[in-house]
Structure 1
Amino acid sequence: MLSHLRDRMAEALQRAVEVEQLLADPETTKDASRLADLGREHHRLAEVVAKANRLAKAEQERDEAREMAAGDDPDFAAEAKAELVRLEAECAALEKALLPLLIPRDPLDDRPAIVEIRAGTGGDEAGLFAGDLLRRYTRFIERRGWRSEPSSYSEGTLGGVKESIFKVVGDGAFGLLRWESGVHRVQRVPATESQGRIHTSAATVAVLPEAEEVDMKIEEKDLRIDVFRSSGPGGQSVNTTDSAVRITHLPTGIVVSQQDQKSQLQNKAKGMEVLRARLLDLRLSEQEAERSRMRKSQVSTGDRSAKIRTYNFPQGRVTDHRVGLTLYDIDGVMNGDIAPFLEAIALASAEEKLSG
């Protein structure tokens, strides 16, 4: 593993030099698209260079401390040994931080993410938990300085959420949120439970990369578009025109309904955005299934039928089953602090790719 890391680091440092040279080339400035691509690559590589330089310095200091720890002066050697422990920990932490940065970046990672939250098994409690997840992601998005754009929302009973679909726009949105895809299971005493019994219910989360029209060409002949009158919670009409749109993709049977926008045209545009994302996700899932037949993955590929995380409120713990990480901070996690899980899964994925 370590030799692979060193090889990748050497390649990244070499590439950083090449990118700087290309950015200084007057020919590059004539191509705005290429200039933008190189600028993004330079930004990513700058972090690799900074951490690699710090690692080289820490390793040099570690080697010096090791020599001093073997010296004849007991007091001096004891001080050097303490410093050696600190430097070895720092080197290990820097190697761990470098690992995800050295894996070839999926070009889809920089795309906006389409997030779909749905109440699963568990009745009213599942809808309430889906609402909790929606608030949790909203806080996480706000903390990162990202932007969310609601696409579709269907209210459940008791103030819960039946379904919520929204787009997340921000640097690396899909690349980070993709690990949230799957079944989220909750264990707690519902507000409606008079006997104090713990219930288990679930909500599903699907995170899809936003698909551009060049990714998925959709033929009009493959679509059936129905229009109907929008309705709000409880079935009351929210307008007097048939502005809601239901789009059916005939070859796959995928159905998208959209009624949150003011006009039929806007609803169709939002619906097509979600449809393209689902079709791209279907294609990527088929490709991943083919790859999975050739290797055993350590990290879930995002199969929405897989239980990925359990939230146990009585014990105050959250467990991610893909990497075996448990945090006893359920309030913090439900308030948007999911970064430790995302980082652990990204690291496990990077280790798998590096050793594969």
Structure 2
Amino acid sequence: MRELLDSKLARFEQLEQDMLDPAVQADSNRMSAVAREHGSLAKLAGKYRHFKDVARQITEAREMADGDDADMRELAEAELPELIKERESVWDELLGMTIGGEDANRARCIMEIRAGTGGDEAALFARDLYEMYKRHAEAKGWKLEIMDASATELGGFKEISLSLEGEGVFRELMYESGGHRVQRVPETETQGRVHTSAATVAVMAEPEEVEIELKPEDYRLDKFCASGPGGQHVNKTESAVRLTHLETGIVVQCQDEKSQHKNLAKALRVLKSRLYDHRKQEEDKKRSDERKSLVGSGDRSQRIRTYNFPQNRLTDHRIGLTIHKLDQIIAGDLQPVTDGLIDYERQQQRDQMEGLD
């Protein structure tokens, strides 16, 4: 924890220097990326600086309490309890701010929702998940943009990619990665039987321009005509694009915009996020001997949650959380679930945290 905070503070201070560098100032794209990353770290860096200052005051007060001057000892002993209380309070705030690891304070992320087993009902469930996240984003004041979508004739989604931007967006949504299962009577069911279907969600931190270098020779670009539900062509120009990263084989396509240029820009953003996520996954495998967070592992194959409509019940299987307000949650009130997951993660960190001294 302290190592992570030290690295974040060092990065923040480096960005402060970069913003004063004439070479950076002359490059508007780089300056914008540096300023954005600096801004995303400012709150955490300020809080950690405050923590370190309080810790320094505690050290000085203890030295005074051990000294020979009776007046200074009395003063130090009176100050110590309040200083220790303040330090613990600030540390608790830091815990909350760093839930999610080194990407906790990312203000942008990419979310991909894909229909799983269940045919048309799975696609409709994927649509419902999208609507849930969309309403939650609106309530949080986040900016949401559709990057690409593959719709079905019944109005569902085979898959849909989103970009979300706002304070705390990745820290909150990272817990959505995994398998989501729904139990309900489908719109297409005439006998009133409850069916089970599934969708998967992947949430990836969106890196800054300077973090992932991607050259045209690193990927193959294919252009094709965008199509709608059922495969019918919705335009006769090759506005849709497909990118294949040559080293990893990662494939991204985008056809939501009528402009090929805009589709390419969106596809590059998604590809960079997938590459960043791919590298993070590889790093996690190398550190497989280290403890991994139960709720923040981002394992796409893990079934994380069940949405049971007949019982109006949501169950998050990772932490044993059950809420009988599924109608409110699916309508966008995801906060009780998110808060439960973050509180669980925070308590895990507290339990493993060694003494602050």
- Normalised by the length of structure 1, the TM-score is 0.73
Equivalent pairs counted in the alignment come to 294
Matching of residue 101 in structure 1 with residue 104 in structure 2: no
Matching of residue 275 in structure 1 with residue 271 in structure 2: yes
Which amino acid letter does the alignment assign opposite residue 314 of structure 1? Answer: P
Question: Would the aligned equivalents of 2:47 and 2:94 in 1 still touch at CA under 8 Å?
Answer: no
Using the TM superposition, give the Cα deviation of residue 191 of structure 1 relative to its aligned residue in structure 2, in angstroms.
1.7
Using the TM superposition, give the Cα deviation of residue 30 of structure 1 relative to its aligned residue in structure 2, in angstroms.
6.9
> Residue 177 and residue 37 in structure 1: after superposition, are their counterparts in 2 closer, same or farther (change >3 A)?
closer
Which amino acid letter does the alignment assign opposite residue 158 of structure 2? Answer: K
Which amino acid letter does the alignment assign opposite residue 43 of structure 2? Answer: R
Q: Distance in 2 between matches of 1:95 and 1:152?
A: 41
Moved more, 161-170 or 101-110: 101-110
Q: Distance in 1 between matches of 2:38 and 2:123?
A: 47
- What stretches of structure 1 of length at least 5 have no aligned partner? 49-93
Aligned pair partner of 1:291 in 287, 293, 310: 287
Using the TM superposition, give the Cα deviation of residue 119 of structure 1 relative to its aligned residue in structure 2, in angstroms.
0.6
Question: Would the aligned equivalents of 2:109 and 2:206 in 1 still touch at CA under 8 Å?
Answer: yes
Using the TM superposition, give the Cα deviation of residue 108 of structure 1 relative to its aligned residue in structure 2, in angstroms.
5.0
> Residue 39 and residue 248 in structure 1: after superposition, are their counterparts in 2 closer, same or farther (change >3 A)?
closer
Matching of residue 345 in structure 1 with residue 345 in structure 2: no
> Residue 333 and residue 276 in structure 1: after superposition, are their counterparts in 2 closer, same or farther (change >3 A)?
same
The answer for the alignment partner of 2:232 in structure 1 is: 236
> Residue 264 and residue 202 in structure 1: after superposition, are their counterparts in 2 closer, same or farther (change >3 A)?
same
SS in 2 for 1:158: coil
Question: Would the aligned equivalents of 1:127 and 1:157 in 2 still touch at CA under 8 Å?
Answer: no
Using the TM superposition, give the Cα deviation of residue 35 of structure 1 relative to its aligned residue in structure 2, in angstroms.
8.0
Using the TM superposition, give the Cα deviation of residue 158 of structure 1 relative to its aligned residue in structure 2, in angstroms.
1.5
Moved more, 247-256 or 215-224: 215-224
Matching of residue 205 in structure 1 with residue 208 in structure 2: no
> Residue 38 and residue 96 in structure 1: after superposition, are their counterparts in 2 closer, same or farther (change >3 A)?
closer
The answer for the alignment partner of 1:65 in structure 2 is: none
Question: Would the aligned equivalents of 2:313 and 2:323 in 1 still touch at CA under 8 Å?
Answer: yes
Q: Distance in 2 between matches of 1:238 and 1:138?
A: 25
- Normalised by the length of structure 2, the TM-score is 0.73
Moved more, 196-205 or 31-40: 31-40
> Residue 128 and residue 351 in structure 1: after superposition, are their counterparts in 2 closer, same or farther (change >3 A)?
same
Q: Distance in 2 between matches of 1:340 and 1:257?
A: 34
Q: Distance in 2 between matches of 1:46 and 1:341?
A: 31
Aligned pair partner of 1:133 in 129, 133, 157: 129
The answer for the alignment partner of 1:71 in structure 2 is: none
The answer for the alignment partner of 1:112 in structure 2 is: 108
| CA-based RMSD | 3.4
Matching of residue 330 in structure 1 with residue 333 in structure 2: no
Question: Would the aligned equivalents of 1:99 and 1:347 in 2 still touch at CA under 8 Å?
Answer: no
Aligned-pair identity (%): 46
Question: Would the aligned equivalents of 1:156 and 1:162 in 2 still touch at CA under 8 Å?
Answer: yes
Q: Distance in 2 between matches of 1:292 and 1:315?
A: 38
